[in-house]
Amino acid sequence: MRYIRDILTEAMAQKRPTVSFEFFAPKTVEGEITLEKKTIPSLKIARPDFCSVTYGAGGSTRGKTLGLVNNIQETHNLVAMAHLTCVSATRDETISIINEAKQRGIKNILALRGDPPGGIGEFKKIEGGFEYAYQLVELIKKTGGFSIGVAGFPEGHIACKEGKYVDWDRLRFKIDKGADFVITQLFFDNRYYFEMRDYLVKNGVSVPIIPGIIPITSASQIKKLTTLCGATIPTRMQEKLNHFGDDDEATTAYGIEFATEQCYELLKNGAPGLHFYSLNKSNPTLSILRNLNLLPT
Ligand SMILES: Cc1cc2nc3c(=O)[nH]c(=O)nc-3n(C[C@H](O)[C@H](O)[C@H](O)COP(=O)(O)OP(=O)(O)OC[C@H]3O[C@@H](n4cnc5c(N)ncnc54)[C@H](O)[C@@H]3O)c2cc1C
Query: For ligand 1, is residue 197 a contact (CB within 6 Å)?
Result: no
Pocket test for ligand 1, best of 20, 60, 62, 132 (most atoms within 8 A of CB): 132
Distance CA 280, CA 32 (A): 10
Active-site residue, from 10, 22, 261, 265? 22
Distance CA 157, CA 154 (A): 8
Query: For ligand 1, is residue 154 a contact (CB within 6 Å)?
Result: no
Q: What is the pLDDT of residues 252-287, one digit of tens each?
A: 999 999 999 999 999 999 999 999 999 999 999 999
The answer on pLDDT for 154 being more than 70 is: yes
Query: For ligand 1, is residue 187 a contact (CB within 6 Å)?
Result: no
Instruction: Give the closest residue to 188 by CA, choosing from 248, 250, 263.
Output: 263
Pocket test for ligand 1, best of 94, 110, 170 (most atoms within 8 A of CB): 170
Q: Give the pLDDT mean for 150-156.
A: 98
Name 282's bridge partners: none
Look at residue 132 and tell me if it is in a domain.
Answer: yes
Distance CA 34, CA 42 (A): 11
DSSP for 16-68 reads --EEEEEE---SSHHHHHHIIIIIHHHHGGG--SEEEE---GGGTTHHHHHHH
Query: For ligand 1, is residue 172 a contact (CB within 6 Å)?
Result: no
Kindly report the backbone phi and psi dihedral angles of residue 85, in degrees, each rounded to the nearest multiple of 5, phi listed first.
-115, 170
Q: Contact 212/186 with Cβ under 8 angstroms?
A: yes
Q: How far is the CA of 297 from the centre of ligand 1 (A)?
A: 38
Supply the pLDDT for residue 56.
Answer: 85
Q: What is the pLDDT of residues 12-38, one digit of tens each?
A: 999 999 999 999 999 999 999 999 999
In whole numbers, what is the pLDDT of the chain averaged over residues?
96
Q: How far is the CA of 163 from the centre of ligand 1 (A)?
A: 14
Look at residue 196 and tell me if it is in a domain.
Answer: yes
Look at residue 125 and tell me if it is in a domain.
Answer: yes
Q: What is the pLDDT of residues 189-240, one digit of tens each?
A: 999 999 999 999 999 999 999 999 999 999 999 999 999 999 999 999 999 9
Look at residue 229 and tell me if it is in a domain.
Answer: no
Atom of ligand 1 nearest to the CA of 55: 8
Q: How far is the CA of 248 from the centre of ligand 1 (A)?
A: 30
Look at residue 234 and tell me if it is in a domain.
Answer: no
* Domain total of the chain: 1
Distance CA 272, CA 275 (A): 10
Look at residue 223 and tell me if it is in a domain.
Answer: no
Which secondary structure element, helix H or strand E, spans residue 147, and what is its range?
Answer: strand 147-152
Q: Contact 208/254 with Cβ under 8 angstroms?
A: no
Query: For ligand 1, is residue 185 a contact (CB within 6 Å)?
Result: yes
Supply the pLDDT for residue 58.
Answer: 67
Look at residue 222 and tell me if it is in a domain.
Answer: no
Q: How confident is the model at residue 133 (pLDDT cuts 50, 70, 90)?
A: very high
Look at residue 18 and tell me if it is in a domain.
Answer: yes
Query: For ligand 1, is residue 114 a contact (CB within 6 Å)?
Result: yes
Determine the distance from the C-alpha atom of residue 260 to the mean position of all C-alpha atoms in its chain, rounded to a whole number.
Answer: 18
CATH number, domain at 78? Answer: 3.20.20.220
Q: How confident is the model at residue 60 (pLDDT cuts 50, 70, 90)?
A: low
Residues in CB range of 149: below 8 A, 6 or more apart: 4, 81, 108, 109, 110, 111, 179, 180, 181, 182, 183
22 has catalytic annotation: yes
Q: Which domain holds residue 55?
A: 4-217+252-289
